[in-house]
Amino acid sequence: MEHVQPLSDVLDLLTGDPDQVMAYAQTWHNISVHTGSTAALHTGDVQKDTPSWQDGAGEIYRGLAQSRSHTMEGLAEAAEGMSGLAEAVHMVVSAVRSGVRALISFLVGKLISWAIELAATALAAAPLVIEQAMVAIGQTAVKVFRMVDDLMSSLKKLHDALQKYKLLITALRTGIGVAAGKYAYSPYGETP
C-alpha cells in the first residue's frame, strides 16, 4: 500500500503521516535545545559582564536578565514537553496506521480470493461471494472506524494537554510582564 501513491495518500488522510509527526517532535526538541542553550549563554554573559556594575541600574538590569533567563528556561522545558507529546502522537498514529493498513491489506486479499472463486465457478458462487464480501467489508469498516475513533480520542487528550501548555506559556509571558513592570522606568518616578 505504501508504494501505490493513491492508496498511500488515502492512508495519510485517514490516519496521518507518522514521519511528519516525528519531524514535528524533532523540531520541538531542537527548539528546546536552542532555547535552553540561549538561556545558559545569556545567564553566563550577564554574570561575566556585570559584576562591577553596582548601582541601581545594574541591579535592575540583572533582575530583568535573570527573569528573562528563567523565562527562556521555562520555554525550553515547554518545548521539550511539546516534543514528548508529538512523539506520543507519532506512536499512536503509527499504531493506527499499521492496523488500518493490515485490515485493508487483508480485505484486498480476500477480494482477490473471491474474484478468483467467481472466475473458477463461472459466477455460480456469486450470491455466496457477494454476501461474504459485504460482511467482510462491513466488519473491516467497523474496525477501521474504531481505530480512527481511538485516534481521535487520543488527539482529544493531546488537545487537553496542549491547553495546559498554553496556560504555562501564558504564565511565563505574564512573568515577563511582571518583571518588566517591576523595573519599568516612569518619568513621574512611579512604576506602573
> At residue 76, does pLDDT exceed 70?
yes
pLDDT range class, residue 185, cuts 50, 70, 90: very low
pLDDT tens for 32-63 read 999 999 999 999 999 999 989 889 888 889 98
User: Residue 82, exposed/middle/buried by CB under 10 A (0-12, 13-18, 19+)?
Assistant: buried
pLDDT tens for 19-29 read 999 999 999 99
Q: Is the pTM of this model over 0.85?
A: no
- Which grid cell sits at 71? 523565562
Please indicate whether residue 41 or residue 2 has the higher confidence score (pLDDT): 41
- Which grid cell sits at 31? 527548539
Count of Cβ atoms closer than 10 Å to residue 13 Cβ = 9
Query: What are the CA-CA distances from residue 132 to residues 99, 119, 138, 142, 145 (Å)?
Result: 22, 16, 10, 15, 20
pLDDT at residue 78, as a whole number: 85
Q: Which fold has domain 5-182?
A: Substrate Binding Domain Of Dnak; Chain:A; Domain 2 (1.20.1270)
Q: Are 144 and 100 in contact (CB under 8 A)?
A: yes
Count of Cβ atoms closer than 10 Å to residue 86 Cβ = 19
Q: How is the chain split into domains, by residue range? A: 5-182
User: Residue 96, exposed/middle/buried by CB under 10 A (0-12, 13-18, 19+)?
Assistant: buried
pLDDT at residue 175, as a whole number: 64
- Which grid cell sits at 114? 473471491
Beta-carbon contacts of residue 36 (< 8 Å; ≥ 6 apart)? 72, 73, 76
